[in-house]
Amino acid sequence: MTLNNGNKETVLQLAKTTSVELLEETKSLHDTLLTCKNISRLLQILDKNPWIDLELNGYIVKYKTRDELYDNLPYYRKTSWKFYDLYGNVITLPPDIMDLFGKSTVYHSINELENKDQLTIENKFLEQFNKFISEHGMDYSSKSVRIHEARISKKEITGVLEGIKNKTQEFLDTVISLLESG
């Protein structure tokens, strides 16, 4: 990092201002991440912070399979689905089936998440899941369950956003600390 004192002070002030904006929630997380990307660019450490682009663009752009995606997602982007039948009733699945299919991956871009009350996976994406349940259900009632949609609630989305906010704050704190001590 080769910054002269004027540039160093400018980046330090930008990081401090961004940290306050993040704390006070005066800017969207999307805009805050864009500023963090700019800070990384100015410090020539953009390649050391690929998570910024993944949060901005969504994780599906980098990871192509569900397993690869799940293995590489940050902990705060791993949630649980809630499943619903055709009439909107919650379906409770046996624990072994929930272990296989109940883990959701919130791979969406920060912009998508900030503007959603819930994420819904429609029936057409659940056909394989329904087929598996009908073939491997524990008993007659679990074999006859048909999931119409899966949802990630606002509470789960809020948890993801909090995780992103915390990681962003850690990044800003590290930048501020490095610039103040160097």
Neighbours of 153 (CB within 10 A): 15
* 157 occurs within a structural domain: no
Q: Which amino acid belongs to residue 53?
A: D
Burial class (CB in 10 A: 0-12, 13-18, 19+), 175: buried
Do 100 and 144 lie in one domain? The reply is: yes
Judge contact between 8 and 179, C-beta under 8 A.
yes
Average pLDDT over residues 152-157: 90
Same domain, 90 and 79: yes
Is 113 inside a domain boundary? no
| Judgement on whether residues 29 and 68 belong to the same structural domain of the protein | no
Q: Residue 113 corresponds to which amino acid?
A: L
Average pLDDT over residues 27-46: 95
**Domain span at 69:** 60-107+119-152
Is residue 34 in some structural domain?
yes
Residue 129 in any domain: the answer is: yes
Indicate whether 14 belongs to any domain: yes
State whether residue 79 is helix, strand or coil.
strand
Nearest to 73 by CA among 173, 170, 160: 160
Count: domains in the chain: 2
CB atoms within 10 A of CB 22: 21
- Give 48-103 pLDDT, tens digit per residue: 999 999 999 998 888 877 778 888 899 999 887 888 888 888 888 777 777 766 67
| pLDDT for the residue numbered 126 | 74
Q: What is the pTM of this model?
A: 0.82
Helix (H) or strand (E) holding 120: strand 119-121
- pLDDT for the residue 133: 72
